[in-house]
């Protein structure tokens, strides 16, 4: 069975997090970030490398655009996972942050 190197997740409430497993220890990754429901006024989305024990490095990327975007990140270490944190203001109860990813096989 091949390790999963792509997927999708969602964060339903501002300030929420999502842990993405990096089973292939890829360092080159692409992330699609977008909101569904009523668009928020402002947002901050960070992506941090994280090891299996929970230790995290400083955010490798911070995105503050509410429009859909694709972010390419080359990480400097083969992390076991990536912690995504999304905070926003505005929107309504239907607002949700969505992320999909594809990881290169280094």
For residue range 8-44, what is the model confidence (pLDDT) as tens digits? 999 999 999 999 999 889 999 999 999 999 999 999 9
Instruction: Give domain status of residue 17, yes or no.
Output: no
pLDDT of residue 5: 86
Average pLDDT for residues 31-60, to the nearest whole number? Answer: 96
Instruction: Give domain status of residue 83, yes or no.
Output: no
Instruction: Give domain status of residue 64, yes or no.
Output: yes
Instruction: Give domain status of residue 24, yes or no.
Output: no
Convert 11-34 to b/e letters by CB count within 10 Å (16 or more is b): beebeeebebebeeebbebebebe
Dihedral angle computed from the Cα positions of residues 17, 100, 80 and 53, in that order, rounded to the nearest 10 degrees: 10
Instruction: Give domain status of residue 94, yes or no.
Output: yes
Instruction: Give domain status of residue 105, yes or no.
Output: yes
Instruction: Give domain status of residue 12, yes or no.
Output: no
Segments forming the whole domain that contains residue 39: 31-49+59-78+89-106
Residue 52: pLDDT band by 50, 70, 90 thresholds?
very high
Average pLDDT for residues 79-102, to the nearest whole number? Answer: 96
pLDDT of residue 3: 58
Instruction: Give domain status of residue 21, yes or no.
Output: no
């Amino acid at each position: 069975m091949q390790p999963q190197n792509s997927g999708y997740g969602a964060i339903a409430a501002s300030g929420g997090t999502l842990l993405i497993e990096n089973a292939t220890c890829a360092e080159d990754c692409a992330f699609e970030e977008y909101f569904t429901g009523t668009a928020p006024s402002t947002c901050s989305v960070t992506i941090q490398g994280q090891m299996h024990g929970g230790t995290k490095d400083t955010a490798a990327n911070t995105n503050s655009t509410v429009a859909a975007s694709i972010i390419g990140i080359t990480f400097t270490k083969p992390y076991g996972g990536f912690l995504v944190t999304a905070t926003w203001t505005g929107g309504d109860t239907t607002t949700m942050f969505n992320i999909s990813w594809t990881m290169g096989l280094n």
